Structure 1
Amino acid sequence: MAGGRRTKLEKLVDTIKEDQRVSSGLEEQNSAVPDLPSELWERIFSPLDLRDNIRAAAVCKSWQAVATSVRKSDRPPWLMICPNFGNSYDFYDPTKRKTHSLDLPELKGSEFCYAKDGWLLVFKPRTQGFFFFSPHTLELIKLPTLHFAHQIVAFSAAPTSDNCIVFTVEHVNPMAVAVSTCRPGDDAWTTINFENPQSIVSSIWTNIVFSKGHFYCLSLTGWLGVYNPNNGIWAVLSVPPPNCTEYFPPRNWWKGKFMAEYNGDIFLVYTCAAVKPIIYKLDEMKQVWVEMVSLGGMTFFANFLSSHVRADLVAKMRNTVYFSKALCHGKCCFTYSVDLGRYYPRKRPCNCGQHDPFKSIWIEPPEDV
């Protein structure tokens, strides 16, 4: 049990046992739990993560009943895959290794941009139009048009939220970028040009995540740009780029790097030319990328457009990197096990991402699977 979580749970057990001794007397010391209202027990157990919940459930039958009633665990995203022809989109479920299909004519002629909270951000090159789309509810929310030449774009929250901001950063010249933002309901995008503060920083950006009120962007050369939408300030952090043995030229700007956010932490997976993926976690206090030898039970779902991290998944999925590359006609997914130090399948494709970076994306599954 981790330090903080263990202390909280142990204090809970010690407090209950002490209450039993004081209030019940010696004849009741063998009772596993005091007689408390079920609502109070649910409030006590609800904050526990899956690991501590399971351990608490092993104390006695009474605890087991309460713990299982409030037990929560993460659900892995599904891999949504564009069809080569027609409007039938595949959704690969990595838990059951099954593929579901859904006819979505609303997405015809569109490219994926980003996915979050069960929503897609989609771009139609023919009309230069953006829109949000929920493949599970078929809701569609349009955005203003914007010239979009394969730069990256992201949003902070579901478009039904008041906190939703759409953000993109575009290469202007080797020393400048253009930051564009808008909100659902706006008539136009707001665009501001910024100079890069360091000449060694490329103005081509390859990944975006939203964390703690800021948009973090990874440059082609591995530097980290940050945009604060509250005050409109763009900056490049003085965090040295992670080590990578392979240089990707501008024409392959989307290859090899996958960045994701989880509970305020930022993670990065580099495939490069190494035998195995290199996993980093950003230490903002020390301004460095720290290489991780283990995912600590987490699962990384890598995708050029939108990567995700999950914890508390079923045991067979933990400590694994899932790449957005469906194999065997969508019946399995290309993965890397950190514990075993091997890929599945063993024969590694030349690209751990996907051949077309705009044709697949990880998205939350429907609530009523």
Structure 2
Amino acid sequence: MYFPMSRNSYEFYNPSNSKRHTKELPKSLAGSKVRYSKDGWLLMCKSISTDFVLFNPFTMDLVVLPDLELWHGYQLVGFSCAPTSSDCVVLIIKDYDPGHVTIRTWSPGETTWTSMQVSSQFLDAKRNYVVFSNGLFYCLNLRNSLAGFDPSLRTWNVLDISPPVCPDHIDDESWYEGKFMVGYKGDVFLICTFGNAEPLVFKLDLTLRVWVKKENIGSLTIFGSINSCESRTYVHEGLLRDSIYFPKLCDNENRCVTYSFDEGRYHPRREHNVNWGTQPSSENIWIEPPENALELI
């Protein structure tokens, strides 16, 4: 998905056939930004607001969440599954003072947020690294510390996990800016990019309590973007396995880019009729379409 500067519309792009489809945003969402995406839904709010909505850009369904009453924003957000499921949990994490983390959750049918505060030195986050896997929300901060929140038990734990090893020639800022976290059937992967260099992939090993570096991703295809990541073992004809797709590799790129581990190189998608322009890469996300997507767009 691509959101143009006007923010009154959005565009779907299918990298397997290069087709594009444009739809108008509901007037109430004009100027809103995507904060997280999962199961074909978007968690959105306006830049100066913390009034969140869940929006399905295919069916145009909207779920307005209760007022958060936050005066100073938030650090991390995410949700476990589509709000059409009673198992859906929306997560908002914020630190109000050093050493304390406030966690708010909401589920369908609730009229208020459930709040809890825990003693924790965890938060130091600029980007939204949140993955829901095996019943837990995994959250990564700027220092590469990993924490887990169990919404059923309402427990928060900073995990004793050794951080992934950063190459000596990569500065901390570059290491931070190009990270993506994604889950697949209970596994959690961390992808790190450094300009045009080969991306690094780490798989979380909770038994050994380390991030294990992977030389490839096997039959997986990963679609990585700042506010949404998807992973598949089955992809349509025209897409590559053992590869990572990026809407753009960095802000100065203007097209979809693919890295193939099998070939050990990037594939600029020059053959595709797509130009994202110079907007920040955070304005482009991957989203899972429903089976009848073509009927809806």
- Structure 1 CA distance for aligned equivalents of residues 228 and 12 of structure 2: 16
Instruction: Report the counterpart of residue 274 of structure 2 in structure 1.
Output: none
- Structure 1 CA distance for aligned equivalents of residues 16 and 182 of structure 2: 20
- Structure 1 CA distance for aligned equivalents of residues 15 and 166 of structure 2: 29
Pair 1:308–1:100, CA change in 2 (3 A): same
Instruction: Report the counterpart of residue 275 of structure 2 in structure 1.
Output: none
Unaligned runs of 5+ in 2: 271-277
Pair 1:248–1:192, CA change in 2 (3 A): farther
Pair 1:183–1:110, CA change in 2 (3 A): same
Offset at 1:281?
0.8
Pair 1:326–1:365, CA change in 2 (3 A): farther
Instruction: Report the counterpart of residue 356 of structure 1 in structure 2.
Output: 280
Instruction: Report the counterpart of residue 110 of structure 1 in structure 2.
Output: 32
Please say if 1:265 is aligned against 2:175: no
Q: Aligned pair count? A: 277
Offset at 1:152?
2.5
Instruction: Between 354-363 and 310-319, report the one with greater CA deviation.
Output: 354-363
Pair 1:268–1:203, CA change in 2 (3 A): same
Instruction: Report the counterpart of residue 235 of structure 1 in structure 2.
Output: 157
* Amino acid across the alignment from 1:182: W
Match of 1:159 among 83, 93, 99: 83
- Structure 1 CA distance for aligned equivalents of residues 156 and 281 of structure 2: 26
Q: 1:23-62: per-residue Cα shift (whole Å, max 9, x none)?
A: xxxxxxxxxxxxxxxxxxxxxxxxxxxxxxxxxxxxxxxx
- Structure 2 CA distance for aligned equivalents of residues 244 and 102 of structure 1: 41
Question: Could you tell me whether the CA contact under 8 Å between 1:154 and 1:166 is conserved in 2?
Answer: yes
Please say if 1:172 is aligned against 2:96: yes
Offset at 1:316?
4.2
- Structure 2 CA distance for aligned equivalents of residues 143 and 335 of structure 1: 36
Unaligned runs of 5+ in 1: 1-79, 348-353
Instruction: Report the counterpart of residue 323 of structure 1 in structure 2.
Output: 246
Structure holding more helix per residue: 1
Q: Which has the larger radius of gyration?
A: 1
Instruction: Report the counterpart of residue 26 of structure 1 in structure 2.
Output: none
* Amino acid across the alignment from 2:52: F
* Amino acid across the alignment from 1:242: P
Offset at 1:358?
4.2
Pair 1:365–1:207, CA change in 2 (3 A): same
Pair 1:343–1:230, CA change in 2 (3 A): same
Offset at 1:143?
0.1
Pair 1:358–1:316, CA change in 2 (3 A): closer
TM-score, length-scaled by structure 2: 0.84
Offset at 1:271?
1.2
Please say if 1:89 is aligned against 2:13: no
Q: 1:62-103: per-residue Cα shift (whole Å, max 9, x none)?
A: xxxxxxxxxxxxxxxxxx111112522111111112221112
Question: Could you tell me whether the CA contact under 8 Å between 1:111 and 1:358 is conserved in 2?
Answer: no
Pair 1:151–1:178, CA change in 2 (3 A): same
TM-score, length-scaled by structure 1: 0.68
Structure holding more strand per residue: 2
Q: 1:302-340: per-residue Cα shift (whole Å, max 9, x none)?
A: 11112111112247411111113299xx99512211111
Pair 1:308–1:84, CA change in 2 (3 A): same
Q: Aligned to 1:307, what secondary structure does the other structure show?
A: strand
Offset at 1:127?
4.6
CA RMSD after TM alignment: 2.8
Q: 1:166-201: per-residue Cα shift (whole Å, max 9, x none)?
A: 0022233453322111123322222222222xx6x5
